[in-house]
Structure 1
Amino acid sequence: MTKDQLHDLQESHALFEYQLWINESLFTWTWWFLLGMIIIPWIVLIKLIDRKRAPIIWFFGLIVLIISIITDEFGADFGIWIYPTKLIPYSVFELPFDFSIVPVAQMLIFQYFSNWKTFSVALFLQALVFAFIGEPFSIWLDAVAYYGWNFYYSFIFYMLTGTLTRAFVLKWIPKKIIN
């Protein structure tokens, strides 16, 4: 196959993906739900964030966001999950989950629960709700489909992400900045 043929094939595939998105995703009920899930958590966070501690809370959230994106990219690349309804065309990962719902929820937990015991309990509850209620709901909506992944893995992911991120932030950021 020549470079020109490969380029034509890639363009054809991109056009097919775009047309599929226009016909199957854009403006569906699930698409509107995903749009809301990328906007609403940030509005809630902006209203609730502790302005004095905002930089450290944003830093914590950025780390969670990066971990979520990397994990999601691996899962999608290996075919462990797919996103049948996409908010935007050509994306492998799903913006509302990686860029909004997970980081914002964990940022609020980080903000409101300052010691390890209360943080761990709140994180446990968040992981429970996200893994065993939110994800089945997302599957029902056709926002995600799992192939070789289960909700217990997600629960562990949420727990590890929040715990390791908090440990990292507490280790590397001076206490006077955190409090």
Structure 2
Amino acid sequence: MPDLYEVGRLSANISYQHWISKELFSFGWFITVGVLIVTYGIWFKLVDKRRIKDLLLLGSLCAVAFAVIDTTLVGFLGLWSFKIRLLPFQPPLFIVGLTMGPIMYMLVFQYTSSWRSFLLWNGIGCAVIVFVILPVYSLLGIFQLYKWNWFYHFLLFFIVGTVARGLLYWFTSMEQIDQ
């Protein structure tokens, strides 16, 4: 019986070979690269450089949350998967939860001043990502749901952004108290 290390190395090798032969330079791969470039381009154009630390902290909190969620819900439970990866890593880097989501949350945070407006625009942004972009990704064979649905995905996205904003305010209040 092979040990866990050998199984992991074999799995990584098979995953890499699949990426080289089926994913890299495919139509879905180019779509992913294009969306990534456009998303970061919009962010660089619109981001308020004077608030960059708070915005990046919020985006980082969201990215870490999605990394943990993807590792758990994708890696262990197999609830959804990205069929096209930009790079041959598991969980995939530069996926929606690590790029579009955090960038959307940062922009919503930047352009809203109250919890009410944040929740409204967070809901709209999450709806666009989950009910428009991800289904298009699904039709293009980039993304696939298994034992999951779009509404759960929307709730997950909405909760991550909301909790991250609450944590950001908590961290900044701790910083102000300490000064």
**Which TM-score applies when normalising by structure 2?**
0.87
Sort the Cα spacing of 1:11 and 1:156 in 2 relative to 1 into closer, same or farther, 3 A: closer
Tell me how far apart the structure 1 counterparts of residues 37 and 130 of structure 2 sit (CA, whole Å).
21
Where does residue 92 of structure 2 map in the other structure?
A: 93
Asked whether 1:45 is paired with 2:43, we answer: yes
Residues in 2 aligned to 1:53 and 1:175: alpha-carbon distance in whole angstroms: 18
Aligned to 1:173, the other structure's residue is in SS state: helix
Tell me by how many angstroms 1:151 deviates.
0.5
CA 1:13/1:61 → structure 2, altered by over 3 Å: closer, same or farther?
Answer: closer
2:62 alignment partner AA = V
Q: TM-score, normalised by structure 1?
A: 0.87
Q: Secondary structure at the match of 1:82?
A: strand
Distance 1:11 1:154, change over 3 A: closer
Match status 1:20 vs 2:23: no
Distance, in Å, in 1 between the alignment partners of 2:124 and 2:138 is 20
- Matched residue type, 1:79: G
Compared CA separation, residues 87 and 174, structure 1 to 2 (3 A): same
CA distance in structure 1 between the aligned counterparts of 2:171 and 2:89, rounded to whole angstroms: 36
State whether residues 83 and 94 of structure 1, in contact with CA within 8 Å, keep that contact through their aligned partners in structure 2: no
Offset at residue 21 of structure 1 (A): 1.2
Residue 52 of structure 1 aligns to which amino acid in structure 2? R
Q: Per-residue deviation at 1:144? A: 1.4
1:25-84 superposed Cα distances (whole Å, 9 cap, x missing partner): 110110011112333222221221111111111111110111111111111121111222
Q: Tell me the secondary structure at the aligned position of residue 52 of structure 1.
A: helix
| CA pair 2-58 structure 1, distance change in 2 beyond 3 A | closer
Identity %: 24
State the Cα distance separating 1:99 from its structure 2 match.
2.3
Does the CA contact (< 8 Å) of 1:37 and 1:100 recur in 2? no
Number of aligned residue pairs: 175
In the other structure, the counterpart of 1:125 is 124
1:75 corresponding residue in structure 2: 73
Amino acid at match of 1:115: S
* 1:176 to partner: Cα distance: 9.8
Q: Give the secondary-structure state (helix, strand or coil) at the position aligned to 1:46.
A: helix
Structure 1 portions without partners, runs of 5+: none
Structure 2 gaps, min length 5: none
Secondary structure of the residue aligned to 2:153 is helix
1:159 and 1:12, CA in 2 relative to 1: closer, same or farther beyond 3 A? closer
